[in-house]
C-alpha cells in the first residue's frame, strides 16, 4: 500500500515512517514548509527520508499558514482569548492541505506521528478516534475536528506504542543519534521568547498597555498588554495585585484585564457553538468526560444538543477557569466524541 507520512523532522514522525516501511508499505514523506526558521527541521526530515530510502517532498505552505494559523493566533489574542494554534494547524493544514496533497499524489493512506488510535466500529459502520495506549502522551484532544472521510484515510501507528522509551529504543537500532532527539516544545512559529514578544513585534494591540479593573470597572493599576494574561492567572499581575486578585476576564475592546476572586472563576454550564461530532449517529444527549485544554484533567458532564452544531455542557461539579480560545473536547470512556473551540457569546 502507498502511504504518505507527514515528516516533521522529529522522532515521532520518523518512527512512524520506519514502522510502515518495515511493514512492507510503499512510503512517501511529505514535510510542510511553514515559516522561515524551519531549516533544521526540514533538513532533519530529509535526512530521515534518505536513511529510509523513501521519496521526500517539501510542500511550501507559508501563505496558507500565515493566513490560517498566524493571523488567527493574533486575532484571537486581540479578541481577549488564549488560543491553541496547533488545533487550527491540524484542521486546516496537516489534515487539510497536506492530506489533500497526499491523496492527489497517489497515497492510499496518510499517516502522522500523533499518539491516538483510529478504530472502525463495525456495529455502527463508522470510524472513531480513541485515546492512545500511552495515555501520558495521548494527543487525541487535537483531533476532534476529523470527519469520517478523513478518518477512513488516516493511520496513526503510534497509538499502540506503550511508551516513548520503547519507541526511542526501537528507533535507536536504526539511528541512535536521532532516537535521542528532544521533543519540540512551545509554539513552532515563534523562534525566540514568548508569544507576548512575538505579538509586540507584530505591533498587535494585544501588547498595548492598559488597565486592570475590578468587575465594576474601577481601575486597579496598569497591565502590560492583554496577551500577558489568561483566565485564572494569579501571578505576574503587578507587585501590588499579585496574590490579592485573580484574572476573571479580558475586555479586549476596552483593553482591560478584569480581576476578581476565586469564586468568580467557576462555571456549571457552558454553551459551545460550531461543535463537531465525529460520529454522524451521536445521540442528542449523553454523559461525557470533558477536557478544557490539552493537559487539563477530565470533568464529568452531561451533553445536550441545542441545534445542528450547538451543545450545552452541564458539569457535575463546577469547573475552574475555562479560557476562551481553548478547545473543549468530549469523550465517552476513551472514545473521542467531538469538540469545539470555546468563544465567548
Write the CATH number for 301: 2.40.30.10
- Same domain (yes/no): 19, 102: yes
- Same domain (yes/no): 45, 122: yes
Averaged pLDDT, 84-88:
97
Q: Tell me whether residue 195 is in a domain.
A: no
- Same domain (yes/no): 61, 88: yes
> Is 7 known to sit in a ligand binding site?
yes
- Same domain (yes/no): 97, 68: yes
| Beta-ladder partners of 28 | 4, 55
- Same domain (yes/no): 255, 284: no
> Is 9 known to sit in a ligand binding site?
yes
How high is the pLDDT of residue 301? 98
How high is the pLDDT of residue 63? 98
Task: Assign 166 a pLDDT band (cuts: 50, 70, 90).
Answer: confident
pLDDT tens profile 286-314 = 999 999 999 999 999 999 999 889 999 99
How high is the pLDDT of residue 178? 77
Residue finishing a domain among 217, 243, 260: 260
- Same domain (yes/no): 40, 160: yes
- Same domain (yes/no): 18, 67: yes
> Is 225 known to sit in a ligand binding site?
no
- Same domain (yes/no): 41, 156: yes
> Is 318 known to sit in a ligand binding site?
no
> Is 12 known to sit in a ligand binding site?
yes
Residue in 86, 188, 306, 330 annotated catalytic: 188
- Same domain (yes/no): 168, 37: yes
Q: Tell me whether residue 184 is in a domain.
A: no
Is 86 noted as a catalytic residue in this protein? no
> Is 32 known to sit in a ligand binding site?
yes
Is 306 noted as a catalytic residue in this protein? no
Domain carrying residue 154:
2-179
| Overall number of domains in the chain | 3
Amino acid at each position: 500500500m502507498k502511504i504518505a507520512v507527514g515528516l516533521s523532522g522529529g522522532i515521532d514522525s520518523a518512527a512512524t515512517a520506519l514502522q510502515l516501511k518495515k511493514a512492507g508499505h510503499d512510503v512517501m514523506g511529505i514535510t510542510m514548509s511553514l515559516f522561515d526558521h524551519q531549516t533544521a527541521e526540514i533538513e532533519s526530515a530529509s535526512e530521515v527520508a534518505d536513511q529510509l530510502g523513501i521519496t521526500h517532498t517539501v510542500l511550501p505552505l507559508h501563505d496558507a499558514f500565515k493566513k490560517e494559523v498566524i493571523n488567527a493566533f493574533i486575532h484571537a489574542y486581540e479578541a481577549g482569548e488564549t488560543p491553541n494554534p496547533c488545533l487550527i494547524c491540524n484542521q486546516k493544514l496537516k489534515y487539510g492541505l497536506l492530506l489533500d496533497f497526499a491523496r492527489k499524489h497517489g497515497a492510499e493512506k496518510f499517516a502522522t506521528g500523533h499518539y491516538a488510535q483510529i478504530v472502525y466500529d463495525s456495529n455502527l459502520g463508522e470510524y472513531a478516534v480513541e485515546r492512545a495506549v500511552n495515555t501520558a502522551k495521548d494527543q487525541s484532544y487535537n483531533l476532534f475536528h476529523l470527519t469520517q472521510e478523513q478518518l477512513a484515510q488516516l493511520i496513526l501507528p503510534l497509538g499502540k506504542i506503550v511508551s516513548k522509551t520503547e519507541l526511542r529504543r526501537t528507533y535507536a537500532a536504526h539511528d541512535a543519534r536521532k532516537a535521542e532527539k528532544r521533543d519540540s516544545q512551545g509554539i513552532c512559529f515563534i523562534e525566540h521568547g514568548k508569544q507576548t514578544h512575538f505579538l509586540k513585534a507584530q505591533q498587535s494591540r494585544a501588547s498595548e498597555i492598559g488597565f486592570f479593573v475590578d468587575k465594576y470597572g474601577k481601575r486597579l493599576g496598569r497591565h502590560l498588554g492583554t496577551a500577558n494574561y489568561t483566565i485564572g492567572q494569579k501571578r505576574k499581575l503587578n507587585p501590588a495585585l499579585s496574590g490579592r486578585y485573580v484574572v476573571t476576564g479580558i475586555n479586549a475592546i476596552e483593553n482591560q484585564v478584569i480581576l476578581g476572586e476565586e469564586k468568580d472563576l467557576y462555571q456549571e454550564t457552558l454553551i459551545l457553538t460550531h461543535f463537531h461530532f465525529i460520529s454522524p449517529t451521536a445521540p442528542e444527549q449523553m454523559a461525557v468526560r470533558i477536557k478544557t485544554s490539552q493537559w487539563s484533567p477530565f470533568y464529568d458532564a452531561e451533553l445536550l444538543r441545542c441545534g445542528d452544531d450547538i451543545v450545552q455542557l452541564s458539569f457535575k461539579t463546577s469547573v475552574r477557569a475555562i479560557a476562551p480560545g481553548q478547545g473543549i473536547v468530549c469523550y465517552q470512556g476513551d472514545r473521542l466524541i467531538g469538540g469545539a473551540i470555546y468563544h465567548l457569546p
